[in-house]
Amino acid sequence: MKEALATGPFLRTENKTNNIMKHLLIALIPIILFAFYKNGVVPYINGKVTLYGMFLPLIFVFISMFVTFFTEYLYAILVKKETKNIKYHLKTKYSIFPGIFFAMIMPLNTPIWILIFGAIIASVVGKIIFGGLGNNIFNPALVGRLFVITIFAATIMNNGGYLNLYEVDTVSKATPLSNYAAIETIGSYETLVKPYGSLWSFFFGMIPGSLGETSAFLCILGFLYLVYKKALKWRIPVTYITTVFIMTYIIGVLNDVGLWFPLFQILSGGLFFGAIFMATDPVTSPTTPIAQDIYGIFLGILTVLFRFLTSAPEGVLTSILIMNLFVIILDRIGAKARFDLKKVVVLILIEFALVLGLSLYIAESKDEKVTVDPNFSIVSKENQGNKKVYIATQKGYSSTIKAKVIISGDKVESVEILEQADSFYSKVEESNYVSKFKNINDVSEIDTVSGATITSNAIKKLVNNVLIDYKG
């Protein structure tokens, strides 16, 4: 056998995978530092946490990164019998990234053992069982998140959930979107944006949310850097965010709210972080340009759908996981469309129809302020002088809540919980939640209880439904 001849080209790009990953890390560093600032430094300066608490965000990222690296490393040396040279593995497997991303999309108050468990899942279920780098279908960090959020939601929420201790004291609200999910109308600037400051707080990221997903500003900086370095599938975030903007703009306009509404929507729920860093994960996103556009638009549609028509308020990460499934088929269509654009016309028309149709539908549903809530029913109502006493039920988190509501002169006089068996009711009780309803006639001003959002929200809905009935 003669030696195989070298094959060309004999010139190769300088922009190697190593560089791309380096650029990605550079783009992420400000975001990690911001997470440290917002969730560590600020609470520390305000005396809310100890020194450990200050460094917790960094420790959090580091542990997660270490776990995903080490899981893959162990697998490589024990099962695959690869070299033990750590540098080699760092430089060729890029296995720290699922860990970084996983930490960034988890609530700060996730117990460390859950974080470690999730990181291991991200590596094993997200990557290794598919055959390692380049072969996985789903974004590993999202797989990790899906597992732990599904299994440990209660534990994480009991441990403090998304809010850092400074936020608990200052804004004392849930994340903007779970706050939004609690109301049924289109909402107002006062109830949706004001509690967190202004839209600038949203833009710069001083709002509650997962550890590293809140700063749209830093995500945009990272985006520009990565586009300049040719290290990002830029079409996906552009089409994704634009789609969400257009849809929520239509929904807003039809409900007579201003430009703040679509801006609130795109700046909430980690959309920028998800669109720029998670949806563009090269391995799990389409490779052909047209498929990338279609992918981005579908992500936008799904996100809006999740936010407005389901009880899952965030939407971004779930949408990405779902769309991961369709990458292969979209690429197949995208490859054909490169020769003949007609092959995608139908798909694009479907997307436009969905964007428009869904926006109109949601706008319409938000418009009907009086809706019959299927989870609500009135057991009895009787007049006592100028007061009206309601006994009503509302579906809560894990039980049906029964309460007595007394209305006096258009306002709530008192709310008393008669029966319930919700898991997190203790939180509601501790916060003396029901007393907040006294003397109000519009429940949208009431903040839900962090850690028992669904239960407290159900009580809010119950009172709201009673008020609706009362006003007739």
Partner 1 sequence: MALHLPKYKKQTLEHALGKYMRPKFIYIPLISGGDTNITELVQKGDYVNKGSIVARRKGNFKIPLVSSVSGTVVGFEEHLCYTGETVKCIKIENDFKDSELNIKKNRKLSSISKKSFIELIKEKGIIGMGGAGFPTYAKYDSKRKINTLIVNAVECEPYITADQMLALSFSEEILEAIDAILEINEIEEAYIAVKKTNTSLIDELNNHIGTYPKIKLALLDDIYPMGWERMIVKRIMKEDYDRLPIELGVVINNISTIYAIYGALKYNRALTERTVTFAGDMMKVPQNVVVKIGTPVKEIIESIEGLKKAKNYVFVAGGPMMGQAVPSDDLIVTPNLNCVLVLKKEEETELPCIRCGKCVAGCPALLSPVLIKDNINSVEELRKLHPEKCIECGACSYICPSGIKVREYIRLAKEKIKEVK
* Amino acid at residue number 262: P
Cβ of residue 417: shortest distance to partner 1, in angstroms?
54
Quick note: the x/- pattern for partner 1 over 92-111, rule CB under 8 A, is x-------------------
Among 53, 111, 132, 195, binds partner 1 (CB under 8 A): 132
In angstroms, the Cα distances linking 226 to 21, 90, 289, 296 are: 10, 21, 17, 18
Tell me if 332 contacts partner 1 by CB under 8 A: yes
Among 10, 150, 311, 435, binds partner 1 (CB under 8 A): 10
Task: Select the span of 154-162, 242-250, 330-338, 422-430 touching partner 1 (CB under 8 A).
Answer: 330-338
How far apart (Å, rounded) are the C-alpha atoms in residues 171 and 163?
9
Cβ of residue 94: shortest distance to partner 1, in angstroms?
8
Tell me if 336 contacts partner 1 by CB under 8 A: yes
Among 54, 56, 283, 401, binds partner 1 (CB under 8 A): 283
Report the chain's terminal Cα–Cα distance, integer Å: 92
How far apart (Å, rounded) are the C-alpha atoms in residues 226 and 283?
16
Instruction: Please give the order of strands across the beta sheet that includes 387-395.
Output: 376-384, 387-395, 400-408, 411-419
Tell which positions 383-412 bind partner 1, by CB under 8 A. none
**DSSP string for residues in 287-344:** -SHHHHHHHHHHHHHHHHHHHHHSS----HHHHHHHHHTTHHHHHHHHHHHTT-THHH
Tell me if 170 contacts partner 1 by CB under 8 A: no
Cβ of residue 4: shortest distance to partner 1, in angstroms?
10
Tell whether omega for the bond before 9 is within 30 degrees of 0, i.e. cis: yes
Distance from CA of residue 28 to its chain's centroid?
18
In angstroms, the Cα distances linking 112 to 61, 82, 108, 341, 455 are: 11, 30, 10, 50, 26
Q: Please identify, using beta-carbon distances, which residue of 20 and 58 lies nearer to partner 1.
A: 20
Task: Select the span of 155-163, 219-227, 238-246, 280-288 touching partner 1 (CB under 8 A).
Answer: 280-288
* Amino acid at residue number 224: L
Tell which positions 215-254 bind partner 1, by CB under 8 A. 230, 233
Tell me if 12 contacts partner 1 by CB under 8 A: yes
Q: Please identify, using beta-carbon distances, which residue of 235 and 427 lies nearer to partner 1.
A: 235
Three-state DSSP class for residue 414: strand
The contact set with partner 1 (CB under 8 A) reads 2-3, 5-13, 15-17, 19-20, 92, 132-135, 230, 233, 282-289, 292, 331-332, 334-336, 338-339
